[in-house]
Structure formats: C-alpha cells, structure tokens
Amino acid sequence: AQTVTQSQPEMSVQEAETVTLSCTYDTSENNYYLFWYKQPPSRQMILVIRQEAYKQQNATENRFSVNFQKAAKSFSLKISDSQLGDTAMYFCAFMKLNSGNTPLVFGKGTRLSVIA
Amino acid sequence: GAGVSQSPSNKVTEKGKDVELRCDPISGHTALYWYRQSLGQGLEFLIYFQGNSAPDKSGLPSDRFSAERTGGSVSTLTIQRTQQEDSAVYLCASSLELWEETQYFGPGTRLLVL
C-alpha cells in the first residue's frame, strides 16, 4: 500500500519570502501522479500542482514549483513570493496511474501561515 | 453546474440519529468520490461511483455507512445511528472519467455528533 508523509504539521513564512513544504511517499509503483492540494478555511480542496512520475522535469505553476526526486521518493513544494492568500492547509497526495481502483492517498497536511 | 456542491454545509446531530449528506458533482462528470477528513488527519477515501455503480464498498468505515448515486448525478452518503467518532468533514469530488488525474472537490459538509 502507498503511504504519504508530511513531516511538518505547521509552518510559517513572512509575506514575500519563500517557503518549502516537504513530502515523502512510499510505493513500489513506477507510474503514478503526485499532487499538492491547498485547503483554505473555506474547506474547498484546490489543486495547486501536479507531477507525472515519468517526467523528469519539475512541474511549475506560477509561484509554485516542486522538487521531485523519484529515487528518494520525495516531492517538496516551493512557494515563492508568499502571499497572505497562501495561508491554508497543504496536502500532498499520490495516485497510481492506469491501474484500476486507485484512489488518491493523502498525507496529513501542513498548515501554512503567511505573516504580514 | 460550475463546481461540485455539497449540502448541508454544516450539520450538528445527536448521537444515534441518522444523517444524509448530499453531493452534486460537476455536470457531465461520470466519476464521483467520497472522502472523510477527521481533525488533524488527511483525507480518508470512502467510496467511489462510476455512473450509478459503486463496485467497492470496502473503504466505508462500518456498515452504518452507505452511499448511493442516482441518475449518474447526485450522490447521498448516509450515516445511520451516528457516533461521536463520525464527527469529521465529509468531502465529495468528481472527475470526468474514473481515476482521471484531476479530481474537483466540493466544500465539504462538517458533521458534528454530540
């Protein structure tokens, strides 16, 4: 079974600074997706960024980028130029690719606070 | 619809009562998923629907939990004889096809069992 571990329950960062959230996972699969979801106080889970395991290039979405280290099974999220609106819970998630009954597996989350 | 909607937004109930949680997926999405988010925990997968069919119910926490989907659209998660440990946020998500890499989540229903 796959597991996802987020070792930082809470983090804080000054506005405009950069912060990195950690995520490691355990799987024997070779083909899979990794995700970072953001959950603001509204509770709605919002997809921040997605990485296909077969792609070596790290995914980037505006101020959000990942450092995907497949051999180390590590998938960290970097938020540059942090904004107050980035304050939220961030969840790392894993999904097998093309193999049937494979729900998203989530970590326990990191609560990020952006401080003015 | 424009997004996944869920109702009620919040529900407070007494231990032993039954509750129904509703999910309206994005129009045209064939796959629908239910998750539970307990305090301080990540999301726990409960059940999925492909159309109206739920082939695997093994993720449901107990036989007090059931779910159905009618007309390939709205889904209802029912919890019978609620217990305090059922208190959590119940999130619904949908995707165009089953296990598609992007799932769109609703805002969830926060259930509190007193």
- Which residues 6+ apart lie within 8 Å of B4 measured at CB? B23, B24, B25, B26, B92, B93, B94, B104, B105, B106
Which pLDDT score is estimated for B52? 85
Q: Does B96 have pLDDT greater than 90? A: no
Q: Does A107 have pLDDT greater than 80? A: yes
Whether residue B106 lies within 8 A of chain A, CB to CB, comes out as yes
Which pLDDT score is estimated for A84? 97
Which pLDDT score is estimated for B58? 84
Q: Does A82 have pLDDT greater than 80? A: yes
Q: Does B10 have pLDDT greater than 90? A: yes
**Pick from A37-46, A68-77, A92-101: least confident:** A92-101
Q: Does B102 have pLDDT greater than 60? A: yes
Q: Does A89 have pLDDT greater than 70? A: yes
Please tell me which residue of chain B has the smallest CA distance to A48: B102
Question: Residues A19, A11: contact at Cβ < 8 Å?
Answer: yes
How high is the mean pLDDT of chain A?
92
Please tell me which residue of chain A has the smallest CA distance to B58: A101
Which long-range contacts (C-beta less than 8 Å, at least 24 apart) are formed by B15-18?
B15/B82, B15/B83, B15/B84, B15/B113, B15/B114, B16/B81, B16/B82, B17/B81, B17/B82, B18/B78, B18/B79, B18/B80, B18/B81, B18/B82
Q: Does A18 have pLDDT greater than 80? A: yes
Contacts of B6 in chain A (CB under 8 A): none
Determine how many CB atoms are found less than 10 A away from the CB of residue A3. 11
Contacts of A37 in chain B (CB under 8 A): 105
**Distance between CA atoms of A64 and A15, rounded to whole angstroms?**
15
Q: Which of A6, A44, A47 sits opposite B106 (nearest CB)?
A: A44
Which pLDDT score is estimated for B113? 97
Contacts of A45 in chain B (CB under 8 A): 43, 91, 93, 105
**Distance between CA atoms of B112 and B114, rounded to whole angstroms?**
6
Whether residue B108 lies within 8 A of chain A, CB to CB, comes out as yes
Q: What is the percent of chain B with per-residue pLDDT over 70, rounded to a whole number? A: 99
pLDDT tens, residue by residue, B29-82:
999 999 999 987 778 999 999 888 887 888 899 999 999 998 889 999 999 999
Which pLDDT score is estimated for B57? 84
pLDDT band at B14 (very low <50, low <70, confident <90, very high): very high
Question: Residues B61, B46: contact at Cβ < 8 Å?
Answer: yes
Which pLDDT score is estimated for A99? 56
Rg, Å, chain B Cα set:
13
